[in-house]
Chain A
């Protein structure tokens, strides 16, 4: 069995491969050059999907059955021509024509933030925020109107990165249950396969701008226990998101721009086998690099009751961010942990975070990381 780590960057993708020892890695070199590679997924049939975006040429999805060659699909998620866009989002993404004129009005898919597979269904979370599904491996896409036309939509507030649906979770035992994280509208859950969604943010500290969800993680087989990184802290829900509790005992905290004190950061992943959850804390929303520049992964093995710093092999002089999609786990025992930084370094642990090695440096900004067994 081999392990591959797919790295999506601001200028293309790289694929690293190793055997199960995870001691030596070989790189594919940069593929999909010139494209922001924002998400990867693999379906039950073994087909890989990559979401790409270009500032000028928009978003698309590519597929590969061997990770050696990619084929672009003719279709991708798109809104209808008459759907109204969020004005703040359009300003954030710089919706200008070549003459610098602000282009208001339409709702556009300007980026695919998350590809997620659940059985035979492929989901895509996009900005401007919305969710789409494909039942034919990406050949055609259908908007999920229960979320995209949600009654609260007019009140959704765009986050710093725009109004984006960046996180999708599903329940392995209940295909009708879907969670979506939208910045900065919060978490929404559907219990009926996407026909309707309800906001699920009770217990999360909110600011005037809404609920700025950063990421979610869970064990899909025990889906109701969910870990949440929010702009304003780290939380756990034991009831599928109906209520949330702060779980920051042992985590480093810092003061946000508005004075709220919490553990800030983006990435969060869970290893189902060991019930370990991994995060990378950062210093406040104003700085967004590791506390004291000491890059550190924190792990909990007791559902957030306590956290342990794991930084054997990580640098003491890191001023980079780790984005929400830029951490992944493999399924070996002990699990491998991989994460990339905005300064283009990729770190890996083959022992559940106990020790770390830098597998790559000087890459473009790393946007997403995924790991698969081949």
Chain B
């Protein structure tokens, strides 16, 4: 299992009273997010929709890469990777 860090946005950590950086373990990004939700069960509502898919406007980066454009949640992690979850932003 690979140990990585997940960075969360303040709008989520505020209502969950959790840290902005959480260490998780997993072979893939998907594994890491499952471990994240195990540690913070309240996050499941916010990251995954009613069908169990990653919410449509939640962006998931592994280091600098948007994983949606690559292997998705199947991307294999390397030790020390940082997963960043952010909301899509637009407008002025």
Contact = CB atoms under 8 A, between A and B. Distances in A.
Interface of A: 32-35, 52, 54-60, 62, 70-76, 78-81, 83, 95-98, 103, 106-109
B45 interface: yes
A103 B57 contact: no
A242 B12 CA distance: 45
A55 B57 contact: yes
Most B CB within 10 A of own CB, among A57, A71, A106: A57
Most B CB within 10 A of own CB, among A33, A71, A98: A98
A76 B49 CA distance: 12
A60 B42 contact: yes
B9 to A, nearest CB: 9
Contact of B50 (A34, A57, A81): A81
A72 B42 contact: yes
Contacts of B55: 56-58
The majority secondary structure among interface residues of chain A is loop
A157 B22 CA distance: 44
Contacts of B88: 56, 98
A71 B16 CA distance: 7
Contacts of A76: 45
A87 to B, nearest CB: 16
Interface in B11-57: 11-12, 14-17, 41-42, 44-47, 49-52, 55-57
B42 A108 contact: no
Interface string B46-87: 110111100111110000000010000000000000000001
B15 A52 contact: yes
7 contacts: A57-B11, A57-B87, A60-B15, A73-B42, A97-B57, A108-B49, A109-B50
Contact of A34 (B11, B41, B56): B11
Contacts of A81: 50-52
Contacts of A56: 55, 57-58, 87-88
Shortest 8 CB-CB contacts between residues of A and residues of B: A56-B87, A57-B46, A34-B11, A56-B57, A74-B41, A81-B51, A97-B56, A72-B42
A183 B76 CA distance: 46
A54 B11 contact: yes
B11 A59 contact: no
A75 B42 CA distance: 7
A98 B51 contact: no
A52 B46 CA distance: 11
A52 B15 CA distance: 10
Nearest to B58: A56
Contacts of A57: 11-12, 45-47, 55, 58, 87
A107 B50 contact: yes
A79 B50 contact: yes
B46 A54 contact: yes
Nearest to B12: A57
Contacts of B41: 74
Given A81-B52, A98-B68, A60 B14 contact: no
Nearest to A79: B50
Nearest to B47: A57
A83 B51 CA distance: 9
A61 to B, nearest CB: 9
A160 to B, nearest CB: 21
A32 B49 contact: no
Contacts of B10: 34
Contacts of B14: 32-34
Nearest to B44: A74
Nearest to B48: A58
A71 B42 CA distance: 10
Nearest to A55: B57
A35 B11 contact: yes
Contacts of A62: 15
Nearest to A81: B51
B16 to A, nearest CB: 6
A80 B52 CA distance: 10
A98 B51 CA distance: 17
Most B CB within 10 A of own CB, among A33, A56, A78, A79: A56
